[in-house]
Every structure is written in structure tokens, then in C-alpha cells.
């Protein structure tokens, strides 16, 4: 009996410790799942990036102590938003002793904070969408849009962004600071564009997400062909955008972009060998392709193509879907791909699209026809500084047995290529050609 009493007393501190551990674990889970949403709401309520970030961190610090003592609130996100808001107001009031202009701001925020919270609860789900459009505002440079999006929406550190884009942390930090200052000084509205503006503004958002994905899928420079963490962030952004745009009726191109990223990323494991060297599409082991991603990507592109208007990302996704579902390069429906590229050229008359169509034509009609189209692109003064254009031209010559012309084109491609796996691939091609030229 005495032992049971002692054991009961010993269990009380242990139970309290378990409760504290549980509160900490829940707080960490809330941070992982909700911190970007909380930040987005605080930016809307406070109208200032820096103030909102500081307020959010103070709110989580306060929760560390209070939740362990009083328990986790029924609505943790609302608690953190409210706490962060009042922490910011207190901060402004303290600073008002040195800057009287902050008094009016603090009192206005306090008056708004004491109003009924119903509207806040209605608006809170749209806050991330507002933040995406603010970070990708066309008045900001593309570099600033990318950096700000990765920092504020994806929660990547400045150092992580710098590593991903091979820039110095100080350069990235300056871009972010300048972007925030421009948003504040130009009073860029923190809002989802109007119905008439939404399609045009959405294009810049999709472009930023695609830039992030492309840097992860095929890094512009450096030792590695891919950066899977960056591709994953872009796909996560794409999912978020589709989710947030569904109610706006403008999700079709976001679905197309999400499909394109999923289908492209599904081939990641087969795109390099154990040494990190590049493997072209026709030589890839298709058993390594991610079947779940392909299935999901096909589902999204099917939905995107059912829309009244079809955009460039949806068409590119449709092309990727044909590649993804083909059992081999030879069994690929190249005529369908050529037709899609022809349609894409009408919407987006880009020399890169024309180049890709030429490669598809060469797969169906032979390298001579593909080479004629590529020579026509070069004759128009396009793509002379694009290494993949020279590489494609070299491949056509190689397949035709025109080894000297192939060597010259590969050398031009090598001179322009900056990514090490691509450079090694081109060097191997040149070595193979040297052997072929000796045998001629």
C-alpha cells in the first residue's frame, strides 16, 4: 500500500513531463505544417514582412512556455496569429518612444485586432495565395521574385537559396531585402488580383515556380545535373497553387504546370548513372521511372486539357505524358508529339520550342529532315548561344555519318555548356567521334 502511494507520487511529475513533451511535439508539428500560413496572415494583418516575421517567431516562443503550462489551445493557428499580432503591436508601441509616427500605426492595428475575428477566419485561407502574388509581383525583378518566393513561402534559408542558385548569401539577402522594401515603399497591394487581372498576373507566378523547378531539374551550372530538393519545393508550390486556385476557376494552367513538373521529375532516377553522368532519354532505363508520379501527372494533365482554353504548360505536360507512357523511344508516338509542338509554336513562337519540334521530326522522319529545320532556325539568327541547339545539330550530323560537321558542332556546344555532367557527355561524344574519324 505504501509502495503504491509512493509510486503514485512519482507518476505525477512523469505525467507532467509527458504533457510538456507532448506540447512541444505539437508545437513543432504546428510550425512545420502552419508556419508559412501563419506568416502569410500576419503579413496581411501587419502590412510589413519584417514585422510579421518577428511577430511570428515571438508567438512561437510564447507558445513554448504557455502551451506547456496551460495546454495546447483548441485552434493553435488562430492562437499564434492573435499572439503574434499583439506582440507586434507591443513592439511598435515600444518603438514609438523614438518614432512618434509609429503610435498611429500601433493604435490602428490594435483597433483592428479587437474587432470581431469572423472576417479574419474567412480570409485566412486566402492569405497564402495573396502572399504568392505579392512575392511574384511584376514590378520585382525575376531574381527577386524567385528569392522572395523561396524565402517567404517555402521557408528556405538565405544560405539554401544561395547554394541552389550558386550565388553568394549576401547577394541573395540583398535581393530579398530590396524586394521587401520595394513592396513596402511602392505600397504593392497584398491581394489576389481582380478577375480581369488574374490570368496575366498568374503567368508570372507560374513562371517563377517553373524557374525554380527547372533549376532543380537541370541545374544551369555546377557539378550536379539535378537538385532534387529544389524540384520538390517547386512541386509543393504547384500543389499549393492548384489547391488555392480551384475556387477561383483559374486552376487549369496551374494543373498543367503541376503535371509537367511531376512527369519530368518522374525520370530523375534514370537521368544520370552512378557517376552522375548524363543519360539521354532514349537510353534511360524506364523501369526506374517513378510510376506513381507518372500516373498522378497524367491525371492532372487530363484535367488541364479539359479546360476551355489550353495554355503552354498544359501542352508541354501533354508532350511529357506521351514520353512517360511510351514503353520505349521507338514506340513513342512521335507524330502526336510533333502535332503538339506545332500547336505550342502557334501559342508560343519560341526558337527553343522550334528546336524541340525539330528533334521530334528527326525521330519520325530521320536526321536529315531534322537537320534542315535546325539549320533554318540558325539561319534566322536564333539560338547561336544555346548549347543544346549545337548539341542537337551535332547529333543529327553524327547519325548521318557526317563526323567532321558533328565534331565542329559538339565543340561549339562544349564551349557554351556550363554544367559539368553535360560537359562530360559532350567530351565523351567528341572522343567517340575522334575514333570514328580515324576509321574513315
Domains in the chain (CATH in brackets) are 2-115 (no CATH), 350-440 (1.25.40.10)
Burial of 343 (0-12, 13-18, 19+ CB in 10 A): middle
The tens digit of pLDDT for each residue in 192-234 reads 788 778 877 888 889 889 888 887 777 555 555 556 777 888 8
Cα separation, 111 vs 123, whole angstroms: 18
Shortest CA distance to 67 belongs to which of 121, 25, 37, 12? 25
Comparing C-alpha atoms, which of 59, 58, 76 is closest to residue 22? Answer: 76
Asked whether residue 3 carries a pLDDT value surpassing 50, the answer given is no
Q: 18 falls in which pLDDT band (50, 70, 90)?
A: very low
- Residue entry with cell 524541340: 356
pLDDT score recorded for residue 115 = 52
**Mean pLDDT comparison of 91-95, 121-125, 137-141, highest-scoring range:** 137-141
Is 119 a residue whose pLDDT tops 60? no
Taking a C-beta distance cutoff of 8 angstroms, is the pair 170, 36 a contact?
no
Burial readout 272-303 (b: 16 or more C-beta within 10 A, e: otherwise): beeeeebbeeeebeeeebbeebbebbbebbeb
Q: Which pLDDT does position 91 carry in this prediction? A: 76
Structure confidence at residue 106 as a pLDDT band (50, 70, 90): very low
Residue 324, pLDDT > 60, answer: yes
Contacts of 407 (CB under 8 A, 6+ apart): 394, 430, 433, 434, 437
Is residue 222 helix, strand or coil?
strand
pLDDT of residue 226: 58
Q: Rounded mean pLDDT of 346-362?
A: 95
Residue 188 pLDDT > 60, yes or no?
yes
Backbone angles phi, psi at 401, to 5 degrees: 80, 15
Name the more confident of 177 and 100: 177
Each residue of 395-438: pLDDT tens digit?
A: 999 999 999 999 999 999 999 998 888 999 999 999 999 887 77
Q: What per-residue confidence (pLDDT) applies to 382? A: 85
State the number of CA atoms in the 13 A half-sphere of 393 facing the CB. 25
Amino acid at each position: 500500500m505504501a509502495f503504491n502511494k509512493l509510486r503514485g507520487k512519482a507518476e505525477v511529475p512523469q505525467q507532467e513531463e509527458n504533457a510538456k513533451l507532448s506540447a512541444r511535439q505539437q508545437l513543432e508539428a504546428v510550425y512545420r505544417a502552419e508556419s508559412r500560413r501563419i506568416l502569410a496572415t500576419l503579413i496581411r494583418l501587419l502590412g510589413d514582412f519584417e514585422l510579421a516575421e518577428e511577430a511570428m517567431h515571438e508567438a512561437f516562443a510564447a507558445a513554448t512556455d504557455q502551451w506547456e503550462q496551460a495546454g495546447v489551445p483548441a485552434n493553435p493557428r488562430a492562437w499564434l496569429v492573435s499572439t503574434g499580432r499583439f506582440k507586434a503591436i507591443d513592439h511598435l508601441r515600444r518603438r514609438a518612444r523614438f518614432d512618434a509616427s509609429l503610435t498611429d500605426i500601433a493604435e490602428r492595428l490594435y483597433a483592428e485586432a479587437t474587432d470581431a475575428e469572423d472576417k479574419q477566419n474567412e480570409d485566412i485561407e486566402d492569405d497564402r495565395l495573396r502572399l504568392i502574388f505579392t512575392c511574384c509581383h511584376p514590378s520585382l525583378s525575376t531574381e527577386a521574385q524567385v528569392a522572395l518566393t523561396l524565402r517567404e513561402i517555402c521557408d528556405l534559408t538565405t544560405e539554401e537559396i544561395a547554394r541552389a542558385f550558386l550565388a553568394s548569401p549576401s547577394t541573395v539577402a540583398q535581393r530579398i531585402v530590396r524586394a521587401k522594401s520595394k513592396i513596402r515603399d511602392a505600397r504593392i497591394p497584398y491581394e489576389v488580383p481582380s478577375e480581369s487581372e488574374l490570368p496575366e498576373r498568374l503567368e508570372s507566378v507560374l513562371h517563377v515556380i517553373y524557374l525554380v523547378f527547372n533549376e532543380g531539374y537541370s541545374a544551369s551550372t555546377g557539378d550536379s545535373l539535378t537538385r532534387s530538393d529544389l524540384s520538390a519545393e517547386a512541386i509543393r508550390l504547384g500543389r499549393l497553387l492548384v489547391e488555392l486556385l480551384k475556387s477561383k476557376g483559374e486552376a487549369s494552367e496551374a494543373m498543367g504546370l503541376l503535371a509537367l513538373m511531376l512527369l519530368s521529375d518522374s525520370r530523375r532516377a534514370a537521368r544520370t548513372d552512378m557517376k552522375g553522368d548524363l543519360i539521354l532519354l532514349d537510353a534511360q532505363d524506364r523501369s526506374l521511372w517513378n510510376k506513381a508520379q507518372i500516373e498522378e501527372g497524367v491525371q492532372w494533365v487530363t484535367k488541364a486539357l479539359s479546360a476551355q482554353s489550353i495554355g503552354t504548360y498544359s501542352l508541354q505536360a501533354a508532350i511529357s505524358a506521351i514520353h512517360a507512357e511510351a514503353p520505349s523511344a521507338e514506340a513513342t508516338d512521335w507524330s502526336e508529339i510533333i502535332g503538339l509542338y506545332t500547336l505550342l509554336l502557334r501559342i508560343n513562337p519560341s526558337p527553343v520550342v522550334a528546336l524541340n519540334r525539330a528533334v521530334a521530326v528527326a525521330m519520325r522522319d530521320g536526321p536529315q529532315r531534322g537537320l534542315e529545320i535546325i539549320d533554318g532556325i540558325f539561319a534566322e539568327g536564333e539560338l547561336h548561344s544555346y548549347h543544346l541547339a549545337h548539341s542537337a545539330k551535332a547529333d543529327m550530323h553524327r547519325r548521318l555519318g557526317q563526323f567532321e560537321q558533328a565534331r565542329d558542332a559538339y565543340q561549339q556546344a562544349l564551349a557554351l555548356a556550363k554544367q559539368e555532367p553535360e560537359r562530360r557527355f559532350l567530351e565523351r561524344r567528341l572522343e567517340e567521334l575522334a575514333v570514328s574519324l580515324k576509321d574513315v
